[in-house]
Amino acid sequence: MTSFQDRAHFALRDAQLRRNLSVVTTTIREKRAAAVAELPDWDALTEAGAALKDDVLAHLDRYLLELERNVTGVGGVVHWARDATDANRIVGDLVAATGTREVVKVKSLTTDEIGLNDALAAREVTAIETDLAELIVQLGEDTPSHILVPAIHKNRAQIRELFAARLGLGELSDDPAALVDAARRYLRQRFLRAPVGISGANFAVAATGTVCVVESEGNGRMCTTLPETLITVMGIEKVVPTLRDLEVFLQLLPRSSTAERMNPYTSLWTGVHERDGPRSFHLVLLDNGRTNVLADEVGRQTLRCIRCSACLNVCPVYARTGGHAYGSVYPGPIGAILTPQLEGLRRAGSLPYASSLCGACADVCPVRIDIPRVLVHLRAREVAQRAAPDVERMSMQALARAFASPRRFERLLRLARRGRRVPGIDRLPGPLRAWGRVRELPAVPDESFRDWWRRERGG
């Protein structure tokens, strides 16, 4: 797996990508600020959201068992998946039992996380993405680059070319209405004929067994009501205690993600009902590393995330590199802390360094995840697990020893002033060159503050 730094270096060459990112993130960021400003109790809401999430994480075992009991009580079936392989097998077996070769899907980061589409394809089942942006990504054989707007890296001219080529529409305008109409006509028959729908879940209510999906296009409503079989794959952290608790998140999520007062489509279903919606409902509860995150006292706050994407839209690193540089379905600041915890630092150890630690992400988080703190925590863990001392660690240890003694520190400054006079010395030498490639070395003053103080104050 290549590092974030290598992927970012490649992404930075794409000027069109940066223009696309700038337009969309700036627009969303400004609209979000206006939507949040409308609520005088926004801070109280974010505090409530964080507290509710922490309560769930502290008693996750109890809430999950309550959820299972209540989903089962209203006619649903609950499956427990330890990892991606387990979840893909469960979903694949459920689809195979219906005999179908095609399913329709609601946009779902969780199913992207486990690679469900590829797993179904290996069993000769085609999964049709019905969210417009996810459809664009699927038709382009691409990968998502944003949590909320997966096709943010493409502009409408690029989308028109893709639709014209893949949907056989030679005469097609790049007008947004025309593009949406083309997607609608492509999807409508697939909605009507698919016997299986697959969704993720934004929330699930333990007290009632109710599952909630929020979206903006209506495709989710079609996927969760028309098919005879509905399969929902949900991360275990998505449970909330009661319907009243759901009220808090249905205020936080739309304003933080789409900058709307409420989601255009908020679908809630509780089990199965005769002549109303699917005849069978299956809920797959996915761990896939989440209990490992829960065990980390600092890192567990990552599981508060409600996938609003607000942190991506304010991040200066994401704005320049885009989502593909993160090498994960979770890009941006939240991906920089979630992916290494789910997949392990040995696989994704470069991601905690994908940040300037400016703190903008923490400022906008609606559930108060202290992303910079978790980033620093993960950086320390990544350094600690390295097999042997490297040049950077030994250099930092030497600097720490020098800074611990006023006398050694002054000697180091004098040495730096002398070294500055050597022609060609404008960057770190030897093995330290890579560390200095992305950092500007500060100029060494002709006179240190300590020397000035002695000269001016005589002490």
pLDDT band at 169 (very low <50, low <70, confident <90, very high): confident
- What pLDDT is attached to residue 115? 97
pLDDT band at 389 (very low <50, low <70, confident <90, very high): low
Q: Where in the chain is the domain with CATH 3.40.50.10420?
A: 51-144+190-288
Residue with the bigger pLDDT between 300 and 427: it is 300
Is the separation of the CB atoms in 436 and 428 below 8 Å? yes
- Tell me: pLDDT of 172 over 90: no
Is the separation of the CB atoms in 303 and 103 below 8 Å? no
CA quadruple 394, 396, 402, 404: dihedral sign: negative
- What pLDDT is attached to residue 431? 61
Q: Which of 254, 357, 356, 318 is nearest to 20 (CA)?
A: 318
- What pLDDT is attached to residue 208? 98
- What pLDDT is attached to residue 138? 95
- Tell me: pLDDT of 430 over 70: no
Q: What is the mean pLDDT of residues 10-30?
A: 90
Is the separation of the CB atoms in 91 and 188 below 8 Å? no
Is the separation of the CB atoms in 167 and 135 below 8 Å? no
Q: At what angle do helices 132-139 and 156-166 cross, to 10 degrees?
A: 60
Residue with the bigger pLDDT between 79 and 458: it is 79
Beta bridge partners of 128: 104
- Tell me: pLDDT of 305 over 70: yes
Fold classification of 51-144+190-288 (topology level): Rossmann fold (3.40.50)
